[in-house]
Amino acid sequence: MSNFNIAVLDGDGIGPEVIAEAIKVLDVIGEKFNHRFNYTYAPVGAVAIDQTGNPLPDETLQLCKQSDALLFGAIGHPRFDNDPSAKVRPEQGLLKLRKELGLYANLRPVAGYDELVDLSPLRPERIRGVDMLIVRELTGGIYFGEKGRKDDGNTAYDTCTYTRLEIERIVRMGFNEARARRGKLTLVDKANVMETSRLWREITRELAKENEDVELNFMFVDNAAMQLILNPAQFDVIVTSNMFGDILSDASSVLAGSLGLLPSSSVGSTVGMFEPIHGSWPEGAGQDRANPVAAILSAGMMLDHLELREEANALRMAVNRTLAQGVGTEDLRPTEQLGTRAFGDRIAAAV
């Protein structure tokens, strides 16, 4: 029996509920394939601020560094969102976690389900065939650059800086991911305006000479936002900077019809972090209404990261079979509506 130590940061709002269902499914996977997943819980985000005053306590960070992988729920609370003067915020914990663990790449797969095509805000013919991966740089750019206000308080600034190392490693990952899929990579930038984007494009052209088996094209970010609506099926792998990736990945998330369906991983070091893309939805917390599929599929991405490929495929097949039966939480408008726990039970049984 193989053992894996998993740090569980279930976080705020609906995070603990959806992560509980992911763990439920992982335990069935463990029984089926003779693995043991050892879970250690630690606070992060608003709940950590309430307990310790720190959105990422030192003990939480140390646990993550000592674990094989990290399952993350959700982060955030309206009392911080609605207070622009707050000096300590839940999201600061997430940014620090990414930086401390060296998680420089966020991978978000976006795919449609034939059974759920009517949930998308786009017409069915624009959704069919959508299967893309967005590779977002995660620890550089404007979110981590120098920021502040001038002395009079009426002028603010945020600085966008990228180094060759930061760009090269994420673009190489983009080429590798494209090679393992359909062989097409799109760099999204704003090279007609931004100097950082011109460096991205310059380095990507250099790396293309080492990756001639991958088709490369370039697209300005404003056009990319439009193309995600007009013709999303054209994309295979998108690689882009931190802020552009943040915006485009959230925009693409609605293509599938529900935020509750889409997983993500943040990787770069030996410890990967796996989390649903949805927020903490505090208004729905404790009501057994949240869709656990994104958290469960994030656990599937964790299995891939741990090189448990057969196990990951078994998990994804169980999700697909369950959705095909027309069951789900309220956001999926299913023929048989289930609560969070009962939906998790169905998927676990399907494994």
* Ligand-binding site membership of 179 (annotated): no
Which amino acid would we find at residue 292? P
Q: Which domains does the chain have, with CATH numbers?
A: 1-104+267-351 (3.40.718.10), 121-256 (3.40.718.10)
Which amino acid would we find at residue 9? L
Other CB atoms within 10 Å distance of the CB of residue 159: 11
DSSP 174: H
Residue of 250, 288, 304, 345 marked active site: 250
CA separation, residue 204 to residues 134, 233, 309, 335 (Å): 16, 23, 30, 47
* Ligand-binding site membership of 189 (annotated): no
Residue 246 appears among annotated catalytic residues: yes
Rounded distance between C-alpha atoms, residue 290 and residue 121, angstroms: 20
Helices (H), strands (E): how many in the chain? 13, 14
Residue 65 appears among annotated catalytic residues: no
Tell me the three state secondary structure of residue 328. Answer: strand
* Ligand-binding site membership of 346 (annotated): no
Residue 143 appears among annotated catalytic residues: yes
Residue 250 appears among annotated catalytic residues: yes
For the entire predicted model, the pTM comes to 0.90
Rounded distance between C-alpha atoms, residue 223 and residue 56, angstroms: 37
Taking Cα atoms as reference points, which of 50, 17, 11 lies closest to residue 284?
A: 17
pLDDT tens track of the chain, all 351 residues? Answer: 899 999 999 999 999 999 999 999 999 999 999 999 999 999 999 999 999 999 999 999 999 999 999 999 999 988 887 777 788 999 899 989 988 999 999 999 999 888 888 889 999 889 888 999 999 999 999 998 999 999 888 999 999 999 999 999 999 999 999 999 999 999 999 999 999 999 999 999 999 999 999 999 999 999 999 999 999 999 999 999 999 999 999 889 889 888 899 999 999 977 999 999 999 999 999 999 999 999 999 999 999 999 999 999 999 999 999 999 999 999 999 999 999 999 999 999 999
Radius of gyration of the chain (CA): 20
Taking Cα atoms as reference points, which of 133, 135, 126 lies closest to residue 232?
A: 126
Tell me the three state secondary structure of residue 145. Answer: coil
* Ligand-binding site membership of 136 (annotated): yes
Rounded distance between C-alpha atoms, residue 1 and residue 6, angstroms: 16
Strand-pairing partners, residue 327, are 336
